[in-house]
Amino acid sequence: MLRGALSEALDANVANAGEHPDKPLAVVIESNSLMQFVKPTLFFAVLDPAKEDFKDSARAALDRADALVLRGHAIAAGSEPPWMKLPAKLLREKPSVNPREGEPLPKPLEVLVKRALEAPPGVDV
């Protein structure tokens, strides 16, 4: 399944490259399990304390996140639901935003995205 998704994304990027040959290829993948095998240019972890479907693969990848995107109510260190089991250090040290539905991209994420887009393209395996 992952191979198929990557193949489709690459095909779409290659097709788009013909229209915009000066732009580097980019792929957005939503998979915590993939984090075992690659180091992406940019990684946001999206957390919703109201949902109890927090997977072990998501928890294992949190320390590699460039920023935390909190859905619903903001999480303060020590106040997260017990099922999340997030280290307080993670919540203190990682940049985090709590955007509302429909709001523009928060400035801290915009800065990270802009920096990633300006960097040379590449994926570490």
What is the model's pLDDT at position 99?
86
Choose between 33 and 110: higher pLDDT: 110
* Residue 44 domain-assigned (yes or no): yes
Please report, rounded to a whole number, the percentage of residues in the chain having pLDDT higher than 90.
2
Distance between CA atoms of residues 75 and 84, nearest Å: 11
Give the contacts of 57 (CB within 8 A, at least 6 positions apart): 32, 33, 35
Q: Please count the structural domains in the chain.
A: 2
Task: Give mean pLDDT, residues 87-115.
Answer: 85
| Judgement on whether residues 108 and 70 belong to the same structural domain of the protein | yes
**pLDDT range class, residue 2, cuts 50, 70, 90:** very low
Within 8 A by CB and 6+ apart from 31, the residues are 2
Residues 53, 12 within the same domain: no
Whether residue 125 lies inside any domain: the answer is no
At 119, is the pLDDT very low, low, confident or very high (cuts 50, 70, 90)? Answer: confident
Q: Are residues 39 and 87 in the same domain?
A: yes
Residues 19 and 64 in one domain: no
Query: Domain residues for 14?
Result: 1-27
pLDDT at 78: 58
Entry pTM: 0.66
